[in-house]
Amino acid sequence: MFFNFLFLFLHKQIYNQFKHKIMKTLRIVTAVCLFAATFGTLSQAQNSTGTTNDKVVYNSWSATLSGGSMLFYGDLRQFDFYPMTKQNGKDWKKFTRDVSERQWGFGLAVSKQFTPIWGIQGFFQNGKLSGAKKSVDAYFETNFYSIGIDGKINVLPIFNPLLEKKKYSVYGLFGIGYCTFKVMESKISDGTEIHSYGYGNYGQETKRTRELNIPVGFGVKYKITDRVDIGLELTLNNVNTDKLDARVKPLTAKDKYQYTSIGISYNIGKAAKAVEWTNPKEKEADNLAPLFAALNKKIDSLGQKLNDVDGKVGVLQKEVADLKNFAKQTEAEKAKVIAAAPVAAVAAAPEIIPQFSVFFKVNSSYVDALNQEKVVTMVKILKENANLKLELVGYADKTGGQLYNEILSKKRAQAVYDLLVKSYGIEAGRVSVIGKGVENALSSDILSVNRRVDFIIKK
């Protein structure tokens, strides 16, 4: 017993010494958090109408207005569990005054939900408390307000993280705040004042009493629409004082009050979903969805490039096969091809010399089998007209850079030159090569006709 008394005495002395500093610090922290909540709410609303990022955006802020009953638990309370009303006070206890232990209040809260499981809220409560006890001929009335911060934990996602399209949630809360109040204790029989805090009568305290408050509670919410929820919440507020009913007794439990309320919540923001109503797996999937979409897009792009490469490889393989087949031909077979090639009628010293072209694949300077027949035709013309000379003019289409196209056009002319001189024995001095890039395009739409080498016959 002695040690209990000593512990309570030391606790009271230490608390009284530091409580003003504690209360000042708590007020500052609460004000900062409420300001951050308000600023964050405005920022969320603005960001919802602004730019979007890769992750799915959720509404994480909400505002709640609530109202309900206030019940006091302390020394001046007639029954332990059942609140006394004005009527049963008169019927059962023969009270001559209107005394009710059930009072009313309201609350405001701004919440920030960080994940589907947990979040925080800043709260404000205002209301009245009262109580009476026939055996001591006393009742009290208290006017108070309380402000603080709660941590909230949604229970259902913990046990069932895959729950989809949920319409209700169950949560618990625990927080810290401070309660400021003024209270007057009077006699039931004649209304004479017994004691008060905050009213300044009889030399007593003239300022409102301020004490720490530890709220603990739980609630149930139902989703009406994507914006609006309705909820039932019960919190037991543990006030660190025995003055809430103006009756201070040594070695007794601290006073408490219970706030049972119905609230309407509004989810702030313009996103389609709210964090609170999204299960953890769904939120994770939503955040990964843009990443998968980007990966699929890259895969599709790579697939298209691979298809293009496969097509080009197929063309190159065919061209290589044609070249190998042509290289395997004997001189007699080559002469046969030359002899079989169509010969343009060229009179002696013709006034008009026929001109024609060979064409190429994209980014290629290889002369395929079809175009080699044209080369063979030119070989026969040159061999039957020893006085003729030939100018090979290479061109490219408009794809690619200017320098690249100039080099490619000359490579194409050089490829035809090599066939004429090295494969068919035309004198090198009779053939000249020039590359003109994208000049003299034959068509702006059909690019294949621009990838060519023109044969310009000169006397």
Tokens 């194409």 sit at which residue?
412
For residue 303, give both structure tokens.
């697939």
SS percent in the chain: helix, strand, coil, step 5 = 35, 30, 30
Alpha helices, DSSP H only, in 53-186? 86-92, 156-159
Give the whole-angstrom CA distance, residue 448 versus residue 180: 87
For residue 77, give both structure tokens.
């309370």
Tokens 């023969």 sit at which residue?
94
DSSP 145: E
For residue 119, give both structure tokens.
């979040």
Long-range contacts of 45-52 (CB under 8 A, 24+ apart): 45/268, 45/269, 45/270, 48/269, 48/270, 48/271, 49/270
Cβ contacts of 79 within 8 Å, gap of 6 or more: none
pLDDT of residue 24: 56
pLDDT of residue 286: 59
Give the whole-angstrom CA distance, residue 221 versus residue 169: 5
Cα 274 from chain centroid (whole Å) = 12
* Region of residue 86 (phi > 0: left; psi between -120 and 50: alpha; otherwise: beta): alpha
The angle at the Cα of 376, spanning 370 to 381, to the nearest 5 degrees, equals: 140
Give the whole-angstrom CA distance, residue 359 versus residue 374: 10
Amino acid at 427: E
List residues bridging with 74 in a β-sheet: none
Angle between helices 331-340 and 369-384 (to 10 degrees): 80
The answer to whether the Cα torsion of 51, 53, 56, 61 is positive or negative is negative
pLDDT of residue 116: 87
Tell me the CATH class for 330-458. Answer: alpha beta
The angle at the Cα of 249, spanning 244 to 254, to the nearest 5 degrees, equals: 45
Cβ contacts of 355 within 8 Å, gap of 6 or more: 454, 455, 456, 457
pLDDT of residue 111: 95
Please report, in tens digits, the pLDDT of each residue of the chain (459 residues total): 444 444 444 445 544 554 555 555 555 555 555 454 444 444 444 444 333 445 667 888 999 999 999 999 998 888 877 788 777 767 666 666 677 888 999 999 999 999 888 999 999 999 999 988 888 889 899 999 999 999 999 998 888 777 666 788 999 999 999 999 999 898 888 888 888 888 876 645 678 889 999 999 999 999 999 899 999 999 999 999 999 998 888 777 889 999 999 999 999 988 878 888 887 666 555 556 566 666 767 776 776 776 666 666 666 666 656 556 655 555 555 555 555 555 444 444 444 455 678 999 988 889 888 888 889 988 998 899 888 899 999 999 988 888 888 999 999 999 999 999 999 999 999 999 999 999 988 888 888 888 999 999 887
For residue 168, give both structure tokens.
């209700």
For residue 306, give both structure tokens.
């691979």
Give the whole-angstrom CA distance, residue 410 versus residue 313: 23
CATH architecture of 17-49+56-278: Beta Barrel (2.40)
Comparing CA positions, the residue from 37, 199, 219 lying closest to residue 110 is 37
Model confidence pTM above 0.75: no
